[in-house]
Structure 1
Amino acid sequence: MSSLSIRPVATKADRKAFIELAYRLNGNDPNWVAPLRSEVAATIDPKKNGWFSHAEAQLFLAERDRKVVGRISAHIDFLALEMPAEKGFGPGTGFWGLFEAEDQNAAKALMNAAEDWLRKKGMTKSMGPLSLSIWEEPGLLVKGHDHPPTILMGHHPAHYQGWIEALGYAPAKKLLTYCLNVENGFPPLIQRIVAAGEKNARIHIRRVSKAKFEDEAAIILAILNDAWSDNWGFVPLTAPEIADVGNKLKPLVFEDLIRIAELDGEPVAFMMTLPDMNEVLRPLKGSLLPFGWLKLLMWLRKPKSHTMRVPLMGVVKRLQSSRMASQLAFMMIEFIRRDAVVDYGTRRGEIGWVLDDNQGMNAIAHAIESKINREYLIYRKAL
């Protein structure tokens, strides 16, 4: 009978095996988009991921007959430990993520190893998957397996849900993404709201300036940390994370796709939109060689993207219960929609992720006639 063993990732070869497993297990799924191996390597490298400035992680491999059959991360975010427990995390909260397994026995052994590591670190509950940060790829895909994800969204085999729940994990929070057609504009009511805002001298919706990238990033970070601070699962983004994310996403920053809303000259809201790079990554199968780098470079110079994703959007907290908040949101969405259709050939938009109980964002999504297309679950278990 074949023996199964779990061991911590310790060497460069281990890290390579950890990365490669996902390509073997998911390669035959037509809707899985292979990430660039270099990006995955950077995610798990403390020298290249600013998240590690306030976190620690241990990676594990499952092996059977010297063959890697599973992987998992166990990690602690020290900022998450400082958050109020009623907001989802808080004292004693440990996490797991980057989960892949060839079979249910490997899945159980990996989860046991992650939980044991968390217990030894003094954690009293385990949550996941978070890979690795709440700001990266949180949640397990439980609805929407029939189409590929957009950029920076996860895609997981449907059977993982049963394996995780069989180990005593219960859903803690549901995350949603919405899709919509953007070619033909929005309903008349939304158009009237936008038109009224365009006539309001107090409101100015501007494009970001790539020449002032760091200054614009600081403005967006300040709005984001204020706007999201009361949300479930909130952990503040830090300067090291912003620096690393900025370097990663800077090639995807196009001035007409990111807007900052100013009220009486003060930045109070923003919306970030990214062309769906997964459209060009999908045929590359995770590698830029031999000619993938050229295809990607040509696309980045003047991307044509059928789909745009809105990963982040926020309005400062003091305005969130006002009509102004939704008006600013609709204006930014409409201004970006116009440019995306004309300049990038965009036909489809995706908004998310959005907490299932975020009434404001869900109301905005419904008002522009978008539909839920993917659902993710974050699970919790007492240790």
Structure 2
Amino acid sequence: MSEANVVVEPVRGKKGRAEFVDLGRTFAAREPHWVPQLRSEQLELVDPDRNPFFGHASHQLFIARRDGKAVGRISAHIDHLALELPKEQGFGPGAGMFGYFDAEDESVAHALLAKAEEWLSGQGMTRAIGPISMSIWEEPGLLVKGQDHDPMIMMGHHPAAYQGWIESAGYERAKTLLTYDLDVTHDFPPLIRRIVQSGQRNERIKVRPVDKRRWDEEVEVILTILNDAWSNNWGFVPFTPQEIAYAGKKLKPIIHEEINLVAELDGRPVAFMLTFPDINGVLRKVDGKLLPFGWFHLLRWMRKPVGTDMRVPLMGVLKELHNSRLASQLAFMMISQIRDTATRLYGTQRAEIGWILDDNQGMKAIADAIESEVNREYAIYERRLAQA
């Protein structure tokens, strides 16, 4: 079908944001492995008054209509912190973004992308990068491998057709993000066990659980390490103090101390590893609804997520230790401790690690060493914009 009969309109106000979110839920529900998320959480992510991301971002949401019917959506946004970064790290001057991409067909997809590009160009941007929905720390990338199984917590899930539609609009892949699946019921290879045991005998190293009694301090420790460890990575944008506070408040209910670890060297925090129980399992059971009884199931699950798969979304080691044997040893020690604890306390059978940048050789080597396998790939695309 032609783009000629597709009209792309800007979203305005609270009512428009609600339609934008509900349209995305309608598209997602068509996918057999979609897991319904909490609508209230999705509304909060696109609300400039509630999500601190908008404290350093400009944006416009759009909905496409054909004969009055909503047939697609997209966001166009500019992360002003990303503009300050070196271009070789992915963003930098002129880097605008698109996200929240859903389309009925290829003609709608092209119309949406054209409108997002027009808005970005009007803001002085010279490149369009995406999909990134909406912060790089939320749901980056388009799922291009792994549509045959359910996504885990805070991971996007997209129809296979979207890849072709974006590429046919002239976009080229800028980066691939990988996630790894790990069967945690199997022990690690002998070499890894020896590395872990050596670290456990080293009196300079201490691996400890986070302490929720001083949660704000722990969040500061973790994100200070993260901002240092990831500072040279492609796509890295540092957390602001407001985002640190927001993330801490949001994550605290699903944090179980014994599977979220900080590694110390001579008493100084130098590494961390976060592990989230996969809330998607219970969200599927309650169909993403808190009422009438969803809240009860959710609260009970958060207290003791028995039989739940786990996701390791973030880990970091201070940059001064990168490329050292100690960095990988600390990673293996934390992974091993989390694995042992999760299987013993929660009956966990599998875990997912990632995402990991496709050129992050150190993390890929660690994932390979513990015999995990790539189970999902997310693509981030880029296109130069025509200037007026």
Q: Distance in 2 between matches of 1:241 and 1:298?
A: 28
Aligned residues: 383
- In structure 1, the partner of 2:18 is 16
Post-superposition offset of 1:221: 0.8
Post-superposition offset of 1:69: 1.0
Q: Distance in 1 between matches of 2:216 and 2:14?
A: 33
Amino acid in the other structure paired with 2:224: A
| 8 Å Cα contact 1:50/1:242 also seen in 2 | no
Post-superposition offset of 1:53: 1.3
Q: Which runs of structure 2 are paired with 1:100-249 in the superposition (5 Å)?
A: 100-249=102-251
Q: Distance in 1 between matches of 2:40 and 2:74?
A: 19
- In structure 1, the partner of 2:310 is 308
Q: Deviations over 1:266-294 (max 9, x none)?
A: 10000000000011112333322221111
Identity of aligned residues (%): 59
Q: Distance in 2 between matches of 1:147 and 1:162?
A: 20
Q: Deviations over 1:313-371 (max 9, x none)?
A: 00000101110000000000111111100111100010000000101100000000000
Amino acid in the other structure paired with 2:282: V
Post-superposition offset of 1:20: 0.8
Q: Deviations over 1:130-163 (max 9, x none)?
A: 0001111000000011001110000000000000
Q: Distance in 2 between matches of 1:305 and 1:18?
A: 35
Post-superposition offset of 1:202: 0.2
My pick for the range that moved more, 218-227 or 3-12, is: 3-12
- In structure 2, the partner of 1:267 is 269
Q: Deviations over 1:148-182 (max 9, x none)?
A: 11100000000000000010000000000000110
- In structure 2, the partner of 1:31 is 33
Amino acid in the other structure paired with 2:344: V
Q: Distance in 2 between matches of 1:316 and 1:281?
A: 35
TM-score when scaled to structure 2? 0.97
- In structure 1, the partner of 2:291 is 289
Q: Secondary structure at the match of 1:248?
A: helix
Q: Distance in 2 between matches of 1:128 and 1:204?
A: 40
- In structure 2, the partner of 1:324 is 326
| 8 Å Cα contact 1:50/1:243 also seen in 2 | no
Post-superposition offset of 1:57: 1.1
RMSD: 1.2
Q: Secondary structure at the match of 2:338?
A: helix
My pick for the range that moved more, 177-186 or 373-382, is: 177-186
Q: Secondary structure at the match of 1:38?
A: helix
Q: Deviations over 1:201-230 (max 9, x none)?
A: 000000000011100000001100000011
Post-superposition offset of 1:306: 3.1
| 8 Å Cα contact 1:17/1:68 also seen in 2 | no
TM-score when scaled to structure 1? 0.98
| 8 Å Cα contact 1:354/1:362 also seen in 2 | yes
Q: Secondary structure at the match of 2:144?
A: strand
Q: Secondary structure at the match of 1:218?
A: helix
Post-superposition offset of 1:28: 3.0
Q: Deviations over 1:14-44 (max 9, x none)?
A: 1111011122222132211121111110100
Q: Distance in 2 between matches of 1:269 and 1:13?
A: 43
My pick for the range that moved more, 298-307 or 185-194, is: 298-307
Q: Distance in 1 between matches of 2:352 and 2:13?
A: 39
- In structure 2, the partner of 1:53 is 55
Amino acid in the other structure paired with 2:89: K
Stretches of structure 1 lacking an aligned partner (at least 5 in a row): none
| 8 Å Cα contact 1:261/1:270 also seen in 2 | yes
Stretches of structure 2 lacking an aligned partner (at least 5 in a row): none
- In structure 2, the partner of 1:77 is 79
| 8 Å Cα contact 1:48/1:244 also seen in 2 | no
